[in-house]
Chain A
Amino acid sequence: MEAFEPAIVAFVCNWCTYTAADLAGTSRLSYPKSVRLIRVMCTGMVDPQYVLKALLEGADAVLVSGCHPGDCHYINGNFKARRRIKLLKEILPRFGFEPERLRLTWIGASDGIQFAEIMQKMVAQIQAIGPSKAGRMAA
């Protein structure tokens, strides 16, 4: 079967990864359309419910991405995010969500190229494991 078109939602911080996405754009680095960004001020404000909601409502994967350690515009929001993601990554796989469906990355403001690459890689990984069942579940 031909690779399906996943829906990937990325919660990205305004200062680093969102800026990197802009840079990728200005540098005309193409990446699959499947990735759609939702801008947040800091990964530290990403409520685990965002992730649950997205995964339950049919996103095939969720990416949370912020500043490199030490670069957080708000000092340490990214570290709090990391703990929450750790918790989710302990819970979700027990209920059949593959680890690939929830990712956390650090993409700095100047990492335009890395941004595009990571998006491509993530889409490829999701295509490899196939669509999430949640989309069609009447939960």
Chain B
Amino acid sequence: MSTPRKLEVAEQDVLGALRSFFESILAMEDTGAILAPRRLPVQSVVMPALIGDPKYLREIDPLAPAFFLNAARMVSRLSRKSPGQKIAVVLRPCEIRAFIELVKLKQGALDELLIIGLDCLGAYRNSDYRRYASEGPDASTLKFFFGALSGSPSVMAGIDLTAACKVCEHPIPTGADIAVGFLGISPLDHLLVQAQSTKGEEMLARLGLEQTLVPASRTEAIEALVSARFHARDKFFDQTREATNSLEKLTAYLAGCVNCYNCRVACPVCYCRECVFTTDVFDHEPFQYLQWAHRKGEIKMPTDTVFYHLTRLVHMSTACVGCGQCSNACPSEIPLTELFRATAVRTQRIFDYEAGMDPDAPPPMTVFREKEFVEVVGLSE
């Protein structure tokens, strides 16, 4: 980790400081474009936008508590084949982790990217954000920003962080080339910019920002936040397990599923071009439905919903980064994030793997050893 640098904040305009910082990066001749969360005109919706012309940078809003989709999927599109130019991408920590998983799955490449990560204060559900942001863009963002920094992210009655964000243990952008920090420092004065890779170091060196030190207050603030999150997390794991610890309960939990597959579309690491559940294998003949009806007396339509979610747990839980988009995307508001996180934490542990952290750690199902897991063999245990 290199020596941190200061990003001065002129007359307390945090967003402004960030915007000009990104401008200076886009200004670099070898930066082709920059992908950043941009507030769309009229509507209060924040979406990632690939910006080539600096003037549009004035519209970006990386601090808004809006998380309409996990941009890792977009970065994958931009990097799966060589873009031919360097692209700077501004991502949340969970987006970075998701993208690293995608890189391992050959759905993207880091080579021509400069990943800029920001401390993450979390986000609201889409519907909540629309409601919240209706009262003027920058103002609402900053209101949330300072509220969250002071420990109360719920700055409007009845609106709070998503379940995923409430229990997120990774508010810091691990894996970013350049990390922008404001937790535990006074962002009205300056932000902390730190290179976490040689790529990032090169860039910062060229920007010539003044060097500084990481104040103890930052480390403390992060530790406090993370431990609070861990505490919340474990509580919510217990609740989830309690709510799903039998097949009846699980079925009830997923009862609302309408097979829309939004969750897998929203899931940043669910990378298949075509989900097995949309292939012929699950295109059952009418006769088959009748067979089931005969066999079981009745079948809920659509079928295969529990099967589908269990399959996703098997396929993806080892890669789950807990971004919460599955819940965010579910029309029936099934708390899928809870289900995934509670399972993932264990499936990742048994293979001694943490999704999105170490780019060199192979996905658990791609490796095996002659002497391992002997306990699963046999009729005992």
Within 8 A of B (CB), among A88-105: 88-91, 94-97, 99-100, 103-105
**A138 and B377 contacting across the interface, CB-CB below 8 Å:** no
**B377 and A105 contacting across the interface, CB-CB below 8 Å:** yes
Size category of the A interface is 35 or more
B368 close to chain A: CB less than 8 A: yes
**A137 and B248 contacting across the interface, CB-CB below 8 Å:** yes
| Cβ 8 A contact of B305, one of A88, A90, A139 | A139
Determine the chain A residues whose CB is within 8 A of the CB of B299 once the complex forms: 138
Cα–Cα distance between A99 and B360 once the two chains are bound (Å): 33
**B247 and A134 contacting across the interface, CB-CB below 8 Å:** yes
**A90 and B300 contacting across the interface, CB-CB below 8 Å:** no
Indicate whether A82 sits within 8 Å of B368 (C-beta atoms), given known contacts A90-B350, A91-B313.
Answer: yes
Q: State how many angstroms separate the Cβ of B304 from the closest Cβ of chain A.
A: 8
**A49 and B276 contacting across the interface, CB-CB below 8 Å:** yes
Instruction: Name the residue among A82, A87, A99, A136 with the largest chain B CB count within 10 angstroms.
Output: A87
Determine the chain A residues whose CB is within 8 A of the CB of B343 once the complex forms: 91, 94
**A121 and B379 contacting across the interface, CB-CB below 8 Å:** yes
* Main DSSP-derived SS at the A contact region: helix
Within 8 A of A (CB), among B313-355: 313-314, 317-318, 342-343, 346-347, 350-351
Determine the chain B residues whose CB is within 8 A of the CB of A62 once the complex forms: none
Instruction: Please give me the residue from chain B that is nearest to A106 by CB atom.
Output: B377
Number of interface residues of B (CB under 8 A): 45
**Which of A17-25, A28-36, A50-58 contacts the other chain?**
A50-58
Instruction: Please give me the residue from chain A that is nearest to B277 by CB atom.
Output: A49
Determine the chain B residues whose CB is within 8 A of the CB of A122 once the complex forms: 379
**B310 and A56 contacting across the interface, CB-CB below 8 Å:** yes
Within 8 A of A (CB), among B245-284: 245-251, 276
**B368 and A105 contacting across the interface, CB-CB below 8 Å:** no
B241 close to chain A: CB less than 8 A: yes
Within 8 A of B (CB), among A110-139: 118, 121-122, 125, 133-139
**B368 and A80 contacting across the interface, CB-CB below 8 Å:** yes
Q: State how many angstroms separate the Cβ of B100 from the closest Cβ of chain A.
A: 21
Instruction: Please give me the residue from chain B that is nearest to A53 by CB atom.
Output: B307
A73 close to chain B: CB less than 8 A: no
**A96 and B245 contacting across the interface, CB-CB below 8 Å:** yes
Instruction: Please give me the residue from chain B that is nearest to A92 by CB atom.
Output: B310
**B241 and A94 contacting across the interface, CB-CB below 8 Å:** yes
Cα–Cα distance between A23 and B183 once the two chains are bound (Å): 68
| Cβ 8 A contact of A137, one of B251, B311, B318, B342 | B251
Q: State how many angstroms separate the Cβ of B256 from the closest Cβ of chain A.
A: 13
| Cβ 8 A contact of A88, one of B300, B314, B372 | B314
Q: State how many angstroms separate the Cβ of B306 from the closest Cβ of chain A.
A: 4
Determine the chain B residues whose CB is within 8 A of the CB of A82 once the complex forms: 368, 372-373, 376-377
Chain A interface residues toward B at CB < 8 A: 48-49, 52-53, 56, 58, 69-70, 76, 79-80, 82-91, 94-97, 99-100, 103-106, 118, 121-122, 125, 133-139
- Complex A-B, nearest 10 residue pairs according to Cβ-Cβ distance, in ascending order: A96-B246, A139-B306, A79-B368, A86-B373, A138-B300, A95-B250, A48-B314, A96-B247, A86-B376, A83-B368
